[in-house]
Amino acid sequence: MKLVLEAVEDGIVLPVRVRAGAARNAISVGSDGTLRVGVTQVAERGKANRAVIALLSKQLSIRKSQIALQSGQTSSQKQFRITDVTPEAFVAAFA
């Protein structure tokens, strides 16, 4: 399945479906092309959002400061802006 993402001037905007309180940290691609991220942290006071950022930065080998939550602070449907990453480099990191 092809990942759905939007190229912007300084990087990409990535739609993510987050499952907080999962049994383990995991990243997969859903049938609709969105990235699905499960984190063990609970969805309280931004803990799960910070865990998603840490997991994505580790997978992409980039700094956490390059990833920002753009929308969906309290929703399971989120959009993250990732700077200084091309769509091709992002897709290659999940191949």
Q: Tokens 């992409």 belong to which residue? A: 60
- Please check whether residue 56 is in contact with residue 79, taking contact to mean a CB–CB distance below 8 angstroms: no
3-state SS, residue 54 = helix
- Please check whether residue 62 is in contact with residue 84, taking contact to mean a CB–CB distance below 8 angstroms: yes
Q: What is the token pair recorded at 49?
A: 């959002």
**Average pLDDT score, the chain:** 93
57-79 pLDDT, tens digit per residue, is: 999 999 999 999 999 999 999 99
Q: Residue 2 — pLDDT band, cuts 50, 70, 90?
A: confident
Rounded CA Rg of the chain: 12
CA 52 to centroid of chain Cα atoms: 6
